[in-house]
Amino acid sequence: MRQVAIFAAAAVAEIVGCYAFWGWLRLGKPFWFAAAGMVSLGIFAWLLTLVEVAAAGRAYAVYGGVYIAASLVWLRFVEGVPPDRWDLIGGTVCLLGASIILWAPRGA
């Protein structure tokens, strides 16, 4: 469960960091939004180093599925747009794929 929590925290950090840049460049927010975004993106990168997998590429692949699902949560609760059934089906497929990659038995 620790790995899942790290992936979830990394997703929040990345989405917040990217949204901060979006706010600065597209919504006219002050520059400190972008500065806070840089800090958040640094935290995101650091969090991914805490995941216990043998290869960085595998961590990134698993994270991709978690990021997609977290983005749909952001869509709903921050932007106020309810995901449609295709969003939910796609997010579920991504989480299933991420779970297979993370927890599949691997030979030594």
Domain ranges of the chain: 2-103
Q: pTM of the entire structure?
A: 0.82
pLDDT for position 41 = 97
Contact 67, 90 (CB under 8 A): no
Mean pLDDT of 8-29: 94
Whether pLDDT at 108 is above 90: no
Tell me how far apart the alpha carbons of residues 98 and 107 are, in angstroms, rounded to a whole number.
18
